[in-house]
């Protein structure tokens, strides 16, 4: 089983390390591999491979072992994925997203919004009144903005995220 088999797994890896990072992860064998060999295998620059591996390491999705060459004294890093940590990482990310959604929902429910008629920005009532209901960016007018759809969307996202946990 590869770490990026499922859609959710792939999306998480994509967010974490980008397109090239996904290609790198998809090419890491179950056994150990050097960063140089992985760069050769994928055709991706060694710096990008190393940056990706260190990001995976920081999120506990990869481990490495150092091996010293007895003749030259050079250190070789042997990398391996930790698919057993993937579910924990996803759960942690989901909980972080849920906290963010809860904060945003509270913010949306506790404020009255005004938006620029030209589409520049959205302001809470206090900011809009301080600016005399004139957009500080384009001088257009600020009008009341109903945010029921925003609240509804956030609540829907929260429910979906809770069901995925």
What tens digit of pLDDT does each residue of 100-156 get? 999 999 999 999 999 999 999 999 999 999 999 999 999 999 999 999 999 999 999
* Backbone Cα Rg of the chain: 23
Q: pLDDT value at position 2?
A: 56
Which pLDDT value is given to residue 4? 62
Instruction: State what percent of residues in the chain have pLDDT above 70.
Output: 96
Strands (E), the chain: 33-34, 62-68, 75-81, 113-116, 122-124, 142-145
pLDDT band at residue 5 using 50, 70 and 90 as cut-offs: low
pTM: 0.69
pLDDT band, very low/low/confident/very high, at 165 (cuts 50, 70, 90):
low
Q: Is 45 a residue whose pLDDT tops 70?
A: yes
- Establish if 88 belongs to a structural domain: no
Torsion of CA 96, 97, 100, 104, to 10 degrees: -170
Number of domains composing the chain: 2
For the chain, give the mean pLDDT.
93
Domain boundary among 53, 81, 109: 81
Structural domain includes residue 36: yes
- The yes-or-no verdict on residue 31 having pLDDT over 70 is yes
Query: In which domain, by residue range, is 22 found?
Result: 7-81
- Per-residue model confidence (pLDDT) at position 163: 83
Residue whose C-alpha is closest to residue 54's, from 66, 46, 62: 62
pLDDT (tens digit, 9 = 90+) per residue, 46-69?
A: 999 999 999 999 999 999 999 999
Q: Are residues 11 and 76 in the same domain?
A: yes
101 and 142 in one domain? yes
pLDDT at site 114: 98
Within 8 A by CB and 6+ apart from 62, the residues are 28, 53, 56, 79, 80, 81, 82
Q: Which of 139, 147, 115, 146 is nearest to 128 (CA)?
A: 115
How many C-alpha atoms does 53 have within 13 Å on its Cβ side?
A: 25
Could you tell me if 150 and 104 lie in one domain? Answer: yes
């Amino acid at each position: 089983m590869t770490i990026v088999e499922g859609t959710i797994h792939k999306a998480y890896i994509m967010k974490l390390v980008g397109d090239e990072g996904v290609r790198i992860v998809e090419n890491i064998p179950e056994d150990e591999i050097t960063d140089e060999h992985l760069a050769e295998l994928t055709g991706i620059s060694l710096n990008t491979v190393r940056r990706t591996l260190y990001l995976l390491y920081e999120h506990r999705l990869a481990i490495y072992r150092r091996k010293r060459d007895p003749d030259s004294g050079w250190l070789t890093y042997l990398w391996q994925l930790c698919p057993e940590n993937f579910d924990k990482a996803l759960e942690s990310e989901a909980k972080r997203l849920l906290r963010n959604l809860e904060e945003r929902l509270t913010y949306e429910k506790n404020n009255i919004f005004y938006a620029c008629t030209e589409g520049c920005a959205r302001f809470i009532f206090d900011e809009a009144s301080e600016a005399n209901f004139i957009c500080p960016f384009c001088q257009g007018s600020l009008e009341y903005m109903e945010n029921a759809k925003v609240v509804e969307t956030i609540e829907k996202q929260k429910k979906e995220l809770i069901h995925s946990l």
